[in-house]
A and B are shown apart, each in its own frame.
Chain A
Amino acid sequence: MDNKKLVETVAANLGRTTEDVGKLIDALSGVLSTRCGEMDTVVVPSFGAFEPKKRNERVMIHPSTGRRMLVPPRVVLTFKISQVLKAKLK
């Protein structure tokens, strides 16, 4: 399901225009970006949690050149699926 189809489905179910839904998705993205940027976890019940995590820096070996590299630390957004959805997926 691509973004367009998702927006259309949600809009049809809510009885709203696709523009409205698009705006709301943009807002959701913005809120996720600011709140997760502050290392807050966004929890959606029976769906999962969006949790930013800090990855440590590490030394790794370049696969092709074999040189060692120091990979910098970074913050990544992880998604942890809720047990409810996980059970349904099985």
Chain B
Amino acid sequence: MNSKITLVELARLMAQATSTTSRVCELFLRELFATVSQALIDGENVKIKGIGTFKVTAVKPRKSVNVTTGDPMEIKGYNKVSFTPDKKLAEALNQPFAQFETVFLNDAVSDEKLAEIDAHYPSAFDENNVDLTQSAVSEELNQPVNAPEPIPEPEPVPEPIPEPEPVPEPEPEPVAEPEPEPSPEPLMVPEPELESVADEEPVGQKALAAFGVPVSREKEQEPPVLSREEQVQEASAPVVEHEASPVVESAPEPDDTDDYFYRPAPRNTYTPTQEQLTKYRSSKNRRWLWLLPALLLVGVLIWLFARGGGKGESAQEGAVIEMADTIADVEEPAVITDTVTTKIVLSTLSDKYYDSPWFWVYIYEENKAIINDPNNVPPGTAVVIPPAEKYGIDASDPASLKKAQRRSWEILTQGKR
């Protein structure tokens, strides 16, 4: 990362790739560059296959003035070397940005609007030479189309929050409405995610700081993760309560329970829990419906039904305990793991489990603790395959795909300048 590679190290790396000694490689490198230098000095253009073309161009002498004395002077002509990288090499280097295309701006996008966006992402234009405004701008431009509704923080959302499209659309919609800023803002409000940013290694943090824009983007992206964590925490809390006091009536405040149980299930495994609860609720209603006519009928029947109710209650207890068990099971879902080999990389796994190689990012995020560089996962690493629902993975959904693509772009460029 931004380090300098010397000739010796270059020779060592080449030796690894060619199974020769680094001495041979070093001699070769010296000879190669000496030959190229000599050819350039002789005024020849040199083309090296797989690397590029070196061209010598003569710069004519030109007249100028001495800035201090104001005397006219002449700048001598000299030979200039220009380098054009080989097409393949250039493409390989530009790989992180290969998915982007030049976008025509709509006439409705005024210069003021662009300036506004610039002002909103000031650090994107600093001298850091780092700029991710591409997506930032197109994000803004696209927002009126699918402005994500602000999601209240307390309500954990199992599905990742719909986000503005990261990849520039070929035809951005005219931006006529006022800045739809409020949407990202509420997402940025929760401060806790700063911790998660801070938790990352200093390098990543520095990179984020250097990026400027990605930090805010990161903020937008963090909340889903956070809410998931919260959800897990919340989910575990009621479980403990249930186990401590099996009777439902003494469970935490009804709101909380409702909130918990009627939240859309993030994983399939939650569904039985919901069913059980619905069953339990309906049985409760039925009991009361039965008790009313029973009161009107005979005392014995009342007594009988009361006993039936008691039975029902014990059955409820059983159901609750069972429910708690199910939830406890959900806490440790069946973990799918797979192993990275020389042939199988993250994207291969993603293709295998999610039908699209783009979702490797989520496997990487799930295994961030053990994977340093997603491009270079040591063979033999066992990785956890997250359930598709956790990250809203859906190969048939273009929005989900785009989100993954954008995330991968972010991950791949994070450590770079």
Interface residues of A (CB under 8 A from B): 1-3, 6, 9-10, 13-14, 16, 21, 23-33, 35-49, 52-54, 56-57, 59, 62, 67-79, 81, 85-86, 88-90
Contact indicator A54/B131 (Cβ below 8 Å): yes
- A-B pairs with beta carbons under 8 Å apart, 21 shown: A2-B47, A10-B35, A13-B31, A13-B35, A14-B31, A16-B28, A24-B32, A25-B50, A28-B50, A29-B50, A29-B51, A35-B13, A43-B6, A56-B125, A57-B131, A70-B105, A70-B134, A75-B416, A76-B90, A77-B52, A89-B56
Contact indicator A27/B18 (Cβ below 8 Å): yes
The answer, yes or no, to whether B268 is at the interface (CB within 8 Å) is: no
Contact indicator A44/B7 (Cβ below 8 Å): yes
The answer, yes or no, to whether B94 is at the interface (CB within 8 Å) is: yes
Which of B95-103, B196-204, B301-309, B359-367 is near enough to bind chain A? B95-103
Contacts of A1 in B (CB 8 A): 36, 39, 44-47
Contact indicator A72/B3 (Cβ below 8 Å): no
Contacts of B40 in A (CB 8 A): 85, 89
Contacts of B4 in A (CB 8 A): 40-43, 49
The answer, yes or no, to whether B168 is at the interface (CB within 8 Å) is: yes
Contact indicator A33/B93 (Cβ below 8 Å): yes
Cβ-closest chain A residue relative to B20: A24
Q: Report the number of A-B residue pairs with Cβ-Cβ less than 8 Å.
A: 202
Contacts of B83 in A (CB 8 A): 77-79
Q: What's the Cα separation between A86 and B130 when bound, in Å?
A: 29
Most A Cβ at <10 Å: residue of B25, B27, B93: B93
Contacts of B6 in A (CB 8 A): 43, 45
Which interface class (under 10, 10 to 19, 20 to 34, 35 or more) fits B?
35 or more
Contact indicator B31/A73 (Cβ below 8 Å): no
The answer, yes or no, to whether B86 is at the interface (CB within 8 Å) is: yes
Q: What's the Cα separation between A52 and B33 when bound, in Å?
A: 19
Contact indicator B94/A75 (Cβ below 8 Å): yes
The answer, yes or no, to whether B69 is at the interface (CB within 8 Å) is: no
Contact indicator B37/A70 (Cβ below 8 Å): no
Cβ-closest chain B residue relative to A14: B31
Contact indicator A73/B35 (Cβ below 8 Å): no
Q: What's the Cα separation between A74 and B81 when bound, in Å?
A: 23
Given contact pairs A24-B25, A54-B130, A73-B97, a sample of 6 additional A-B residue pairs in the complex whose CB atoms are under 8 Å apart: A3-B49, A25-B51, A35-B13, A40-B4, A69-B105, A90-B76
A80 to B: closest C-beta gap in Å:
9
Cβ-closest chain A residue relative to B5: A42
The answer, yes or no, to whether B41 is at the interface (CB within 8 Å) is: yes
